[in-house]
Chains A and B, each alone.
Chain A
């Protein structure tokens, strides 16, 4: 039993409803992602599951243990890495690791095999104070400390926020290796592009769980045609595309606008004809260097469409 069950959990801070009727089931050994912008309720859910916060209503269990009744037992079984670096900055890398091992009544040697891959990268700096480490190294140390007692379930709250892109990829590679060790991992992130690294994801916004599926499944629910549109004048393009008849939505994504339109609208006039019409529409509005190409929806497109 290494699963996580959340049933109808509600949590409010005063008038702000942080979590509304959240229900989730995360299977044993799963790498599950909570995807959503800041303020979606991800951290509140983490704090409830790690026994730091009491839900207003609903129940939750981790490893088959109730988060309220069996909180003591849960604390032995889970590893938690808060979004903010919360190790002792005035202790060295080595001292932090030893400290957390001791607190869990174990030793670094006993579980060294689990953290070896991660720890070897920061081992050269083991005499350095944790506060003096770089961002990526801090994350690695925090992960090592969260793992040192060989937890069954690992909670990672926005582990890659503020970490450079290369370190982010490395970090997800580490999570893959941990998953193979049979550890259930619940990870949250505001980066949609990281969602595809999870087995399943839950899209959250405003305290609600919008949909839960595999990344592929979520992409499959996108039932519109999607185009990446570019022109010389991007901001005007965004406004003009939104005035296009039957336009569904248009959002700015990096160097192109993602323009979606209902399938039946496109199919009525034919795919090629639709693109010609759109091109003509934009030319008439005075755009130059127009580029229109059909694209596959990403998680972020699905999130925006919800």
Chain B
């Protein structure tokens, strides 16, 4: 016990004396949580629109005004001809072209229908796709207002209610996910680099000839990051509350419980990587390789349910996926521990698996 206490004292002293590490540890949650949710936004805004108005009537101008006042579009230019509008798409000045044909008002008035042309630049598929569907729905809205084209489905009316995140606030959805990501970073990266740095400096050689048991040595590496991770979670929760007014609907205790087990899993993961690497470069690269996979297959940015089946199966062996789900469920939905039993078992298994892996791969002899 005295040995462990001293080993831990040594670890904390070293972390504290590191010129860089303590700052980055506390800067990380602030930057990720304060800046990223605003920047990494799925809502499309500022879509550059090029309008080709061949009609030049009151109606066509009203349509143009309506589209622009929606806030999603920015007028890139007004072109006299479609060809010229196409040039501004090619030069990347515009993302979408809306062409209003000549005699638009007249035909709408007489025949009740008129065609509009929407052409989107699909190089950025998301922007093109979402942009044109925004545009289409605005035009539909415009139709309804004018009652020019009564469509039966619209008369029936569809009412959508968004459960748990009524305003579809993207940030409410991202912030808990980013908190899960933070824990992964701290647990995985820092611990991966730690043992390797002892290898690189040769200090592990000196430790290895001492009677320190290997489990104890690993424990002394694991505990500091576990503590730091939980502190970080607390900071993250405070930022979520202060900046986004986001408090978990469910019990914060559940989040801590999951975070504690999850950190154990990821520190084990990091230690296993550092045991098999012999330089920090190798460890960094290996950790990064897995981290990218974990993040992309976690459902943090793209819903798991919209992945192909094989990818959905893969997410089952991704610990980050479970934590992201838990974070969102507790934060937004107020899930209780009994709702999350399956997740809890999964995270526990990951913790067990990675730590056994770490002990096995760290050969002291």
Q: What is the interface of chain A, defined by CB distance below 8 A to chain B?
A: 50-54, 71-72, 75-76, 78, 80, 82, 84-91, 95, 98-100, 102-105, 129, 145
- Given A88-B14, A98-B6, output 4 extra A-B contacts at Cβ < 8 Å: A80-B209, A87-B203, A104-B211, A105-B2
Tell whether, in the assembled complex, residue A103 and residue B210 are in contact, meaning their CB atoms are under 8 Å apart: yes
Q: List 16 A-B contacts (CB under 8 A).
A: A51-B365, A71-B365, A75-B210, A75-B211, A80-B209, A84-B205, A86-B205, A87-B206, A88-B14, A91-B14, A95-B10, A100-B210, A102-B2, A102-B3, A102-B6, A103-B7
Tell whether, in the assembled complex, residue A50 and residue B209 are in contact, meaning their CB atoms are under 8 Å apart: yes
Check if B23 is an interface residue, CB within 8 A of chain A. Answer: no
> When chains A and B are docked, how far (Å) is the Cα of A99 from the Cα of B217?
13
Check if B110 is an interface residue, CB within 8 A of chain A. Answer: no
B363 to chain A, nearest CB (A): 10
Q: Which A residues are in CB contact (< 8 Å) with B257?
A: none
Tell whether, in the assembled complex, residue A90 and residue B18 are in contact, meaning their CB atoms are under 8 Å apart: yes
Check if B212 is an interface residue, CB within 8 A of chain A. Answer: yes
Q: Which of A50, A80, A90, A105 contacts B14, CB < 8 Å? A: A90
Q: Which A residues are in CB contact (< 8 Å) with B6?
A: 98-99, 102-103
Tell whether, in the assembled complex, residue B202 and residue A85 are in contact, meaning their CB atoms are under 8 Å apart: yes
Tell whether, in the assembled complex, residue B209 and residue A51 are in contact, meaning their CB atoms are under 8 Å apart: yes
> When chains A and B are docked, how far (Å) is the Cα of A62 from the Cα of B204?
22
Tell whether, in the assembled complex, residue A89 and residue B201 are in contact, meaning their CB atoms are under 8 Å apart: yes
Q: Which A residues are in CB contact (< 8 Å) with B18?
A: 90
Check if B146 is an interface residue, CB within 8 A of chain A. Answer: no
> When chains A and B are docked, how far (Å) is the Cα of A113 from the Cα of B210?
21
Tell whether, in the assembled complex, residue B365 and residue A52 are in contact, meaning their CB atoms are under 8 Å apart: yes
Q: Which A residues are in CB contact (< 8 Å) with B159?
A: none
Chain B residue nearest to A101 in the complex (CB): B6
Check if B17 is an interface residue, CB within 8 A of chain A. Answer: yes
A53 to chain B, nearest CB (A): 8
Q: Which of B14, B201, B212 contacts A86, CB < 8 Å? A: B201
Chain B residue nearest to A71 in the complex (CB): B365
Check if B13 is an interface residue, CB within 8 A of chain A. Answer: yes
Tell whether, in the assembled complex, residue B209 and residue A88 are in contact, meaning their CB atoms are under 8 Å apart: no
> When chains A and B are docked, how far (Å) is the Cα of A174 from the Cα of B202?
25
Chain A residue nearest to B208 in the complex (CB): A52
Q: Which of A78, A84, A105, A129 contacts B209, CB < 8 Å? A: A78
Q: Which of B3, B201, B204, B205 contacts A103, CB < 8 Å? A: B3
> When chains A and B are docked, how far (Å) is the Cα of A103 from the Cα of B202?
17
Q: Which A residues are in CB contact (< 8 Å) with B365?
A: 51-54, 71
Q: Which B residues are in CB contact (< 8 Å) with A84?
A: 202, 205
> When chains A and B are docked, how far (Å) is the Cα of A78 from the Cα of B208?
12
Q: Which of B3, B10, B17, B205 contacts A82, CB < 8 Å? A: B205
Tell whether, in the assembled complex, residue A86 and residue B202 are in contact, meaning their CB atoms are under 8 Å apart: yes
Tell whether, in the assembled complex, residue B209 and residue A76 are in contact, meaning their CB atoms are under 8 Å apart: no
> When chains A and B are docked, how far (Å) is the Cα of A89 from the Cα of B13?
12
Q: Which B residues are in CB contact (< 8 Å) with A80?
A: 206, 209
Tell whether, in the assembled complex, residue A82 and residue B202 are in contact, meaning their CB atoms are under 8 Å apart: yes
Tell whether, in the assembled complex, residue A82 and residue B210 are in contact, meaning their CB atoms are under 8 Å apart: no
> When chains A and B are docked, how far (Å) is the Cα of A80 from the Cα of B211?
12
Q: Which B residues are in CB contact (< 8 Å) with A95?
A: 10, 13
Q: Determine which residue in B2, B201, B205, B209 has the highest number of CB atoms from chain A within 10 A of its CB, and name it.
A: B209
A86 to chain B, nearest CB (A): 4
Chain A residue nearest to B204 in the complex (CB): A86
A89 to chain B, nearest CB (A): 7
Tell whether, in the assembled complex, residue B206 and residue A52 are in contact, meaning their CB atoms are under 8 Å apart: no
Q: Which B residues are in CB contact (< 8 Å) with A52?
A: 205, 208-209, 365
Tell whether, in the assembled complex, residue A91 and residue B201 are in contact, meaning their CB atoms are under 8 Å apart: no
> When chains A and B are docked, how far (Å) is the Cα of A249 from the Cα of B70?
96
Tell whether, in the assembled complex, residue B202 and residue A72 are in contact, meaning their CB atoms are under 8 Å apart: no
Q: Determine which residue in B10, B18, B204, B212 has the highest number of CB atoms from chain A within 10 A of its CB, and name it.
A: B10
> When chains A and B are docked, how far (Å) is the Cα of A90 from the Cα of B17?
7
B165 to chain A, nearest CB (A): 46
B207 to chain A, nearest CB (A): 8
Chain A residue nearest to B17 in the complex (CB): A90
> When chains A and B are docked, how far (Å) is the Cα of A72 from the Cα of B214?
11
Q: Which B residues are in CB contact (< 8 Å) with A87?
A: 203, 206
Q: Which A residues are in CB contact (< 8 Å) with B206?
A: 80, 82, 86-87, 100, 145
Q: Determine which residue in A50, A72, A82, A102 has the highest number of CB atoms from chain B within 10 A of its CB, and name it.
A: A102
Q: Which B residues are in CB contact (< 8 Å) with A78?
A: 209
Q: Which B residues are in CB contact (< 8 Å) with A105?
A: 2-3, 211
> When chains A and B are docked, how far (Å) is the Cα of A88 from the Cα of B10?
9
Tell whether, in the assembled complex, residue B211 and residue A76 are in contact, meaning their CB atoms are under 8 Å apart: yes
Task: List CB contacts (< 8 Å) of B126-141 with chain A.
Answer: none
Tell whether, in the assembled complex, residue B10 and residue A104 are in contact, meaning their CB atoms are under 8 Å apart: no
> When chains A and B are docked, how far (Å) is the Cα of A109 from the Cα of B207?
21
Chain A residue nearest to B209 in the complex (CB): A80
Tell whether, in the assembled complex, residue B201 and residue A72 are in contact, meaning their CB atoms are under 8 Å apart: no
**A54-B365, A86-B202 known; A99 vs B10 contact (CB < 8 Å):** yes
> When chains A and B are docked, how far (Å) is the Cα of A85 from the Cα of B212?
20
**A103-B211, A103-B212 known; A91 vs B202 contact (CB < 8 Å):** no
Chain B residue nearest to A74 in the complex (CB): B209
Q: Which B residues are in CB contact (< 8 Å) with A90?
A: 13-14, 17-18
Q: Which A residues are in CB contact (< 8 Å) with B208?
A: 52
Task: List CB contacts (< 8 Å) of B285-315 with chain A.
Answer: none
> When chains A and B are docked, how far (Å) is the Cα of A72 from the Cα of B211?
6
> When chains A and B are docked, how far (Å) is the Cα of A101 from the Cα of B92?
68
Task: List CB contacts (< 8 Å) of B1-59 with chain A.
Answer: 2-3, 6-7, 10, 13-14, 17-18
> When chains A and B are docked, how far (Å) is the Cα of A131 from the Cα of B226?
28
Q: Determine which residue in A75, A86, A89, A105 has the highest number of CB atoms from chain B within 10 A of its CB, and name it.
A: A86
> When chains A and B are docked, how far (Å) is the Cα of A88 from the Cα of B198?
9
Tell whether, in the assembled complex, residue A91 and residue B10 are in contact, meaning their CB atoms are under 8 Å apart: yes
> When chains A and B are docked, how far (Å) is the Cα of A91 from the Cα of B203?
12
Q: Which 4 pairs, one residue from A and one from B, show the smallest C-beta to C-beta distance?
A: A86-B202, A102-B6, A80-B209, A86-B206
> When chains A and B are docked, how far (Å) is the Cα of A99 from the Cα of B201?
17
A236 to chain B, nearest CB (A): 45
Chain B residue nearest to A52 in the complex (CB): B208
